[in-house]
Structure 1
Amino acid sequence: MILIALAGGIGAAARFLVDGAVQRRTHSATPVGTLVVNTSACLLIGLLTGWASGATESTIVGVLGTGLLGGYSTFSTASVEAARLLLEGRVGRAVAHAAGMLVLGGGIGWIGIMIGRVLAGA
């Protein structure tokens, strides 16, 4: 349990750094940093899930999946950002952001699972 909490803290710090770096580089009013964080988290969680699909529950999967990647991903922030865009009257950006997050997250997660299964020899 302590390892999961520590990994979650590391994941949250990584999210803060990646999101900030992306936003600084893009100078976009659209929250691109959150999109990058969440899609990369979906890929990594998919890889971990695919790799561990044939294994019994292990501590490393809990620490990496629930802790590190759970702390790294931020779908609640994405929801708040979409609502903020709506409140600012930027309906098109809000819809694109929310739909993009859903489609990209699901698609990249599935790709991650497939790659993880191949890596695991499943």
Structure 2
Amino acid sequence: MLEAVIAMVLVGIGGAGGAVLRHLVSTVVSRGFGHGAIGTFAVNLSGCLVIGLAGGLAVGADGRLSPQGDAWLLLVTGLLGGYTTVSSFSLQTLTLLRAGKGGMALVNIGASLLFCLSATVTGFAVTYSLGAVL
């Protein structure tokens, strides 16, 4: 029971930090580029890269992803869970569509999927290959 409470506290603390970080990064980038979708894209891209790095570090000797421990709960489940903003991405894409900006909405969807997945693969490959070397 105590272990479950500790896990929830770690995820909650990480999630709060991730939400604050998401707001800061999204606001700064959005102001710089003039649209909220760009800020959300920057958050999603950086979050995907970091989760790819963490995933690469969490690969066991058998080649399987084996996330575990307090650090994973705090940093990946909590911090990154609070940081990444796919729900905001969806709402902003809908907003673009409703504003008659279908082309921008499609660019937002395609770029987010392509670049975020690529960033995750890159982060994973970098840390996995470094771990394999060590």
TM-score bracket, shorter-length normalisation: over 0.9
Question: Following the alignment from structure 1 to structure 2, what is the Cα–Cα distance between the partners of residues 62 and 95?
Answer: 34
Matching residue within 71, 76, 89 for 2:100: 89
Is this contact kept in 2: 1:30–1:93, CA < 8 A?
no
Structure 1 runs not aligned, ≥5 long: none
Aligned to 1:45: 51
- Which amino acid is the alignment partner of residue 14 of structure 2? A
Contact 2:45–2:112 under 8 Å retained in 1: yes
Confirm whether residue 60 of structure 1 aligns to residue 71 of structure 2.
yes
User: Judging changes above 3 Å, is the alpha-carbon distance between structure 1 residues 5 and 32 closer, same or farther for their aligned structure 2 residues?
Assistant: same
Structure 2 counterparts to residues 29-40 of structure 1, below 5 A: 29=35, 31-40=37-46
Q: Which runs of structure 1 show a deviation greater than 6 angstroms over 4 or more consecutive aligned residues?
A: none
Instruction: Name the aligned partner's letter for residue 55 of structure 2.
Output: T
Equivalent-residue separation in structure 2 for 1:94 and 1:56 (angstroms): 34
Aligned partner of 1:121 in structure 2 is: 132
TM-score norm. by structure 1 comes to 0.93
Q: CA RMSD in A?
A: 1.4
Q: How many residues align?
A: 121
Between Structure 1 and Structure 2, whose CA radius of gyration is higher? Answer: 2
TM-score under structure 2 normalisation?
0.85
Q: Which residue of 1 aligns with 2:26?
A: 19
